[in-house]
Structures are given as structure tokens and as C-alpha cells.
Amino acid sequence: MAYTIKNSRLLKGILIGVLVTLGFFILAAVGFLAAREGLLPFFATQTPTPTQTFTSTNTPTETQTFTPSVTPTPTVATSNVNIKVTSPAPYGEVSSPIQIRGEARVFENIVNFSLKDASGAEITTGSAYANSPDVGLFGSFEEDLYFSTSAKEGTLEVFWYSPKDGSEIDKIIIPLRFK
């Protein structure tokens, strides 16, 4: 007994199921693209503004507007493809010695540090060895960096030197407050 598409209800059902599934996939793809482009506002993500309006009910004609002065703390990257700094935290208050911790996969496993004041003047430098189990793998590092300064703010730069030209690469800059 031979089956033909014309006479088989099973094959017709499979064909309809495939077409319906394909239609759902196309609809989902179009919806995703429209949401990503902001064409569907109920799916789009928007950042709220820090301005709020409050209306006072003291007298019927009096309206007061309050706009909070929120200064958000900028996000600071504490990691990149080759260096991850876990301590100190960005904008943290530090005193001597600063305990610098993290992970790195860098040339010869040497991670370098430069502590600078707010004007960019170098206060002190140092380095640490990343205990990597093998080439290309991350290894942990930890070092105490001693310093003395009268500055109130500064930055800690964590990087490694390029074996090609000696330039500082994969640099992470962490803003700090000195105690």
C-alpha cells in the first residue's frame, strides 16, 4: 500500500504542524527585532530619569516641584580580558598599605601597579606575581602597596607591560579616596 500526500491525513497534519511552527518562529523573530529597535514600547527598556514632581496639598493653588540632585557614581570597570581586580573597590577609602588582589593571565605572570594622586603625579609603584597554573590561564595575585601622601583622592592603575614595545596594556584605573 503506497502513501501519497494527497490521500494521507497524517502527512497533511505534519505539514500543517510544520507551517504553524514556522509561522510562530517568524512572528517571534519579528517581535524580537521590533522590541530591540524600540518599536514596541512595552518591551523596550528605558532608564528612568531622576526628576520627580511632588504636588503639595497645603493650599489648593500651591504647587511645589522637587528635583533631587542625584549624582550617580560612574561605573568603573575592574576587569578586562586579562586582569580582574577584586580589591580595592572603586571609590573606596584606603590607607597604607593598600591590599591589591585579583587574578591575571599576563606575560611572565607579572602584574604592575601605579598609585597616582588626583593630578596624575605618581605616588608609588609595585608589582605582583600571578600564580597561574599554566600559560594562558588566570592566576591569583595579592600585594600590599605601601605609600605616603597628603592627597585626598587618586587612582590605582593595574596593568602589564607589553613584551613587544614595553607599553602599559590592559590597564584598569580604579579611583580611590585616601584616609
- Domain annotation covers residue 76: no
- Domain annotation covers residue 95: yes
CATH number of the domain within which 104 lies: 2.60.40.650
- Domain annotation covers residue 18: no
Q: What is the pLDDT along the chain (179 residues), one digit of tens a residue?
A: 555 555 566 667 776 777 777 676 676 666 666 555 555 444 444 444 555 555 555 555 555 555 555 566 677 888 899 999 999 999 999 999 999 999 999 999 999 999 999 999 999 999 999 999 998 999 999 999 999 999 999 999 999 999 999 999 999 999 999 99
- Domain annotation covers residue 145: yes
- Domain annotation covers residue 78: no
What are the E-state strand segments in the chain? 83-87, 92-94, 98-104, 110-117, 122-129, 139-145, 153-161, 168-178
- Domain annotation covers residue 21: no
Residue-number span of the structural domain to which 152 is assigned: 83-178
- Domain annotation covers residue 42: no
Q: Which residues contact 74 (CB under 8 A, 6 or more apart)?
A: none
Separation between Cα atoms, residue 52 and residue 46, nearest integer Å: 16
- Domain annotation covers residue 108: yes
Number of domains in the chain: 1
Predicted model pTM:
0.59
